[in-house]
Structure 1
Amino acid sequence: MLRLNGIRKSFDGPKGERVDVLRDVSLHIHAGTTAAILGRSGSGKSTLLAILGLLDSPDSGTYHIDGQEVSGLSDVALARLRSTHLGFVYQRFFLLPHLSAYENVETALQHGIPVPRRRRRSLVLESLDQVGLADRTTHRPRQLSGGEQQRVAIARALVRTPAVVLADEPTGALDENTSEQVITLLLTAAKARGATTVMVTHDPEVAMRTDRTLHLVEGAWARD
C-alpha cells in the first residue's frame, strides 16, 4: 500500500546550514496492516508523516501509494489523492469549535471530490455511530470531553473509508485511561474499514498495539 524508497529531506538551519532531517529512509507497509513510528523529538518522525500524508515532499527518493508514484503529480492531483485515499488524526483534534460533531465530520466530505449532500447524512451518522457518538451529533467540541473530541476526529478521518489512516500522536493530549480507550477504538475502527494505519508516537505502550514498530533515530531507521 505504502512504499518509500531512499527518501531524503533537509531544511535550512539557524545559521544557513543544511540540516538533514530524513536520511535515505525506505519503508514498505502492506495494505490492512498497522505500524507505529517511534522516535524522540527531532528524530524526523513528524516530517516523515507529513511526506506520507502528501503535506510535504522529499528532496529525493520515491513514494508510491497503492502503486501510484506521487512525485510527478500536480497540487490539484495531490489534494484529490489526499482527500480520497488518506484520513488524518491529530494530537490536538483540530475540530472547528463553532461546528457540531456532525458538522465537523461532514467537513471531510466537502473537499477534494465532494460527496453529494444526499449521501453525506448516512455516511456521517454511520461514522459517528462506529466511534460510539451516535448520541452526540449536535454537541459542539466544548461540550465534549477530550476523549470524545478525539473520537469525533477519528470519525472524521474514517468517514470516506480511506485506504490509509495517518495518526500523529493520537493519544498525546489524553490521560492514560482515555488513551487506552481511544487507541483501541482507532485501531479497531480502521481495521473494520480495511484501512492501513500508520501512527507517530513517543509512547512504547501505544506502539505495542500495532502489527509493526519502527524506530527513527536522527532521520534514519535504528538498526537492531
Structure 2
Amino acid sequence: MSVGLVTAAALLGALAGVLSDRAIPVLARRFPGSGPPITPGLLAAGSGDSPGCADRPPPSAAAGLMAGRAGRSTGRIRAGAVLGAVGAVVFGGLAAVRGPEPALPGYLLVAGGGLVLARADLACLRLPDPLVAATALAGGAGLVAAAVATGTPVRLWAALAGAVLSFTGYALLALLPGSRLGYGDVKLAAVLGLPLGWLGWRALGLGLLLPHLLNGVVVLGLLAARRVRRDTALPFGPALLAGAWLAVLLT
C-alpha cells in the first residue's frame, strides 16, 4: 500500500464530496423531487434547512428571511463537511485496498459519480438519469482503459455481464408487489454491476446482497428512533452505493 497514493486519493475524495454537496441546489432546480427532502442521519442539516428539492425561503419578514438564509448556509457547510469526510474515506479506502492497479481510476470515477447520486437521492428522492448515465460512461471508460493497459479485454465481457445481471435482478425486484425500488435504483444497480462484474462473481454477489442488509439496518434504526414511519419513502441509492463499495473492499 502506497501512503502517497492513499493520501492523494483521500484528498481527491474530500474535494469530490464537497463539490457533490455544492451541486445539490443546481440539481434540485433541474430535477424536481418526488416529495419533501429525506435526509436522516448525519447528512441532515437540521429541521427545515436541508438544501434539498423542497428548499424554500421562510416567510417574507426580513428577520425571518435572514435567519432562514443563515440556517441554510450553516446546514450546507455542515453537510459539505460530512460529504467531504465520506469522500475521503471512500476514495482512500479504494486506493488502500486496490492499490495502483489500472482499474483504480475507473473505481474512483464511479465513486465520484456515486457521491453526487447519493446526495441527490437523500435530498430529492431522485437518481437523475443524466447523472446515472454520466457515471456509467465514466466508469466504463476507466475499465476500457484498464483492459487495454493490461491486455485483458475479456474482462470487459465480465463487466457487461455484471451490469446485465444486476439490472435484471433489480428490475425483477422492482416489479414485485409492494416493492419500493424505483427504476432509478435499477439503473444505478446496472452501473455498479460494471466494476463488480470486472472483479468477479464474488464481488458481484456481495454487491447484490449487501445493499439490502445495510438498508434494513438503517430502516430498523430509524423506526426504532421514531425518525420515520413504516410508510415513509426512503432513498435506496446510498445503500446500493455503500454495498458496492464494501464489496470492492472485501474482494
TM-score, structure 1 normalization: 0.36
Q: Which entry has the higher C-alpha Rg, 1 or 2?
A: 2
Q: Give the helix-richer structure, 1 or 2.
A: 2
TM-score, structure 2 normalization: 0.33
Q: Give the strand-richer structure, 1 or 2.
A: 1
Greater relative contact order (CA < 8 Å, ≥ 6 in sequence):
1
